[in-house]
Amino acid sequence: MRVWLIVRWALIAASAVGAFFVPLGPQASPPIGWGALLAIFAFCSLGPLFVLGLQVINPRSPKAWLRPSWHLNPFNFRQPLQFFHLGAYICLAQALVVLVRLVFSQTSFYVEALVPLAMAAGVLLGLKLVMLVFRAKIERGA
């Protein structure tokens, strides 16, 4: 449905616009290092596998999940892959804007700027893992 494509792009654009107002420079105390960034990536990769693994055994869960699509309702919680898919792209939009701002600013590079990118990449990898591990639950040909 075209309306969901528009809603998704509007949310991604809102995230990108919001990223223009994020202060540049490390904000976390203590500062986020490479190890913490790797932990964030790992958590975001394995988190969907754990959360959706619980939904696989939930008797109220639908028989099949649809593959992530830009045209499906991301807020239909009977199709949880859609929500994770949207969330990953929202984080990716924020990451790209912050990194571009960082390139054109006087602020020196800091690891914390990569957190949204690590989250986006982790969730996208997590979705691939979910579709691999729970392939019997994913609708065929969709």
Q: For the segment 10-20, what is each residue's pLDDT rounded down to a tens digit?
A: 999 999 999 99
Q: What are the residues whose beta carbons fall under 8 Å from the beta carbon of 93, sequence distance 6 or more?
A: 12, 13, 15, 16, 19
User: Tokens standing for 87?
Assistant: 């969330």
Q: Which helix (H) or strand (E) holds 4?
A: helix 2-19
Q: For the segment 96-134, what is each residue's pLDDT rounded down to a tens digit?
A: 999 999 999 998 999 999 999 999 999 999 999 999 999
Q: Which residue has the tokens 């913490």?
A: 36
Q: Where are the domains of the chain?
A: 2-15+34-137
Asked whether the whole model's pTM tops 0.85, one would answer yes
Q: Give the pLDDT mean for 87-95.
A: 97
Query: pLDDT at position 28, please?
Result: 87
